[in-house]
Amino acid sequence: MKAYLILPQSRTIEEVNHSGDYKQIYDFIGATTFDAVRLYENRDAAYIDDEGLIPKTHKGKQVEQHFWIHRNYPTPLAGPGLILGCDDEGETVAASCTIEQLRDDVKWCGERFDVALITKFSPGRTDFREFWFKEEENV
């Protein structure tokens, strides 16, 4: 089924084929646990690493984390995201949004330092969209 893979490190969004097996989500996003973040009224959601905000290391060195933000979600999300839909029974289905719509709705936030800087100087803020969607109204 049609899904979209958001890759913030390379700043790309690509269409991929999801088998329908939830275990494949782990491979797409490189996670051991995942969570879903609803992004659209049509129930399309991003599956993201549930531990995405925890700093990662590889061979003793910290791995840089990259973030992205969606127009319909108030905070930056860490690491890759897999966009899939959901039917009336809660089963995973193909994404309903188009790749063009998704590309318009996603902005790249940069690395952990970039996001940490903005959040540090915005105490109490719970919605960060205005930093990346400044030019647009009604966000």
* Domain that residue 103 falls in: 2-132
- Whether 138 maps to a domain, the answer reads no
- Please write the tens of the pLDDT for every residue from 71-98: 999 999 999 999 999 999 989 999 999 9
pLDDT value of residue 57? 74
| pLDDT surpassing 90 at residue 100 | yes
pLDDT value of residue 42? 95
- Whether 47 maps to a domain, the answer reads yes
- Whether 137 maps to a domain, the answer reads no
- Whether 14 maps to a domain, the answer reads yes
| Predicted structure pTM score | 0.91
pLDDT value of residue 138? 53
DSSP per-residue codes, the chain: -EEEEEETTTTEEEEEE--S-THHHHHHHT-SSEEEEE-STT--EEEEETTTTS-EEETTEEEPPEEEEETTSSS-EES-EEEEEE-TTS-EE---S-HHHHHHHEEEEEEHHHHHHHHHTSTT----HHHHSTTSS--
Task: Give me the chain's average pLDDT, please.
Answer: 92
Structurally, the chain folds into a number of domains equal to 1
- Whether 15 maps to a domain, the answer reads yes
